[in-house]
Amino acid sequence: MKTEKKVSVVITAHNRKKYLKDAIKSILNQEVDHDVSIEIIVVSNFDDPDLTRFMKENSIINVRTDKDSFGEKLAAGIDSSNGDIICFLDDDDMFHKKKISYVLEIFWNNPKMSYLHNDIQTISEDTTFNENIGETIGNNRNRLDVFNLSEKKPLLKSGKLTSKRVDWYVSCISIRSDLAKKYSSILKNIYRSLDKALFLVAVDYGHEIGTTQNKLTLYRKHESVTGIKTSKENFMLAKHQFTMESMENLEFLSSNLSSSNENYLNLHNVFIKKMQANDIIYSMKRKSSIQFALKMISLFIGQGCRECFFIAGILFIHFLSPGMSIDIYMEIQNSGI
């Protein structure tokens, strides 16, 4: 008799109901084996009779909270979960119909893996759920990179890991339950850059981290929040505030973890230095551009951080023309992610 495999999907929603039912439907319609059960947990700060009825009809755990913090919601979902693996999903995104099947296969074939990151397919604001949505995964089981982050085995080039963007976007992250529950009390205090916080606690945990190029998450791109519909000044202010709050949150995380894992220390340093460099651009601090450009080049050489080389180039441009560097960043965000 096969042992049942249980997966929990934590969906977080804040002040937004429009896409939540589609997100849930993408989980209800997952194609999984008979020995797999899926538990759906919705954590939101609102009540809606139609959604409540829909969730009750589909045996979905409905967690209501007045907490505004993303970390509080994520931790509430983790603490309410009973699965072996936990997948995270924002209320406006969806999963490819084979995501959970593929994620389980990876975790079961890699028993030391504690964290998995998958790629995205971008969808528009108006995309609704249908059973065939998303690209075909295909036979790409070999498209998996695994990194051993044991405290006894420091990565020679930790920046190569961040260059694969394994720290980006919560809806792309799946983790083992024991890892999630160990750190949930710390994560609940994080309200910015939860994706990086989840990645860093997995690094501190010291097992294996995996990243796959398969597009298992359908990422909804909102033009209203990418910068297309805002002024340059508002873009800079919003990015500056977000960056400062993110650095504050990551420093809080480190002070509470007090990690001795060299991989954690190196990766935390890379994140903070990248944020500091980007904030020079967002806050128009032209005089510091060359100094931080050299720091970014040092991280590129020492840690293999490819995006640090790119940031260095933007900083050199910023020194010559601050307005042009902002234009480049806005264009990058508006044309992609």
The CATH number of whichever domain residue 172 belongs to comes to 3.90.550.10
Looking at the fold, whether 271 and 330 belong to one and the same domain comes out as yes
> What span, in angstroms and rounded, lies between the C-alpha atoms of 42 and 40?
7
Give me the domain span that covers residue 307. Answer: 225-335
Computed over every residue of the chain, the mean pLDDT equals 90
3-47: per-residue pLDDT in tens?
689 999 999 998 899 999 999 999 999 999 999 999 999 999 998
Report the pLDDT value the prediction gives residue 1, as an integer from 0 to 100: 43
Looking at the fold, whether 277 and 187 belong to one and the same domain comes out as no
At a CB cut-off of 8 Å and minimum separation 6, what does 180 contact?
78, 81, 86
| Strands 208-220 vs 94-95: parallel, antiparallel or unpaired | antiparallel
Is 50 exceeded by the pLDDT of residue 242?
yes
Looking at the fold, whether 217 and 230 belong to one and the same domain comes out as no
Mark residue 15 as left, alpha or beta (left: phi above 0; alpha: psi -120 to 50; beta: remaining).
left
The residue among 221, 237, 258 that closes a domain is 221
Is 90 exceeded by the pLDDT of residue 167?
yes
Looking at the fold, whether 176 and 269 belong to one and the same domain comes out as no
Q: Are 208 and 146 in contact (CB under 8 A)?
A: yes
pTM, to two decimals: 0.93
What's the pLDDT band for 292 if we cut at 50, 70, 90?
very high
Q: Is 237 exposed, middle or buried (0-12, 13-18, 19+ CB in 10 A)?
A: middle
> What span, in angstroms and rounded, lies between the C-alpha atoms of 92 and 21?
9
What's the pLDDT band for 246 if we cut at 50, 70, 90?
very high
Residue 171 backbone dihedrals phi, psi, to 5 degrees = -65, -10
In one letter, which amino acid is 202? A
Q: Are 134 and 220 in contact (CB under 8 A)?
A: no
Provide the number of structural domains found in the chain. Answer: 2
Is 70 exceeded by the pLDDT of residue 328?
yes
Looking at the fold, whether 162 and 269 belong to one and the same domain comes out as no
Looking at the fold, whether 326 and 288 belong to one and the same domain comes out as yes
Is 80 exceeded by the pLDDT of residue 151?
no
174-221: per-residue pLDDT in tens?
999 999 999 999 999 999 999 999 999 999 999 999 999 999 999 998
The percentage of the chain sitting over the pLDDT mark of 70, rounded to a whole number, equals 93
What's the pLDDT band for 226 if we cut at 50, 70, 90?
very low
Report the pLDDT value the prediction gives residue 224, as an integer from 0 to 100: 54
The residue among 221, 246, 267 that closes a domain is 221
The residue among 202, 221, 240 that closes a domain is 221
For residues 286 and 142, which has the higher predicted lDDT (pLDDT)?
286
Q: Which of 240, 187, 195 is nearest to 67 (CA)?
A: 187
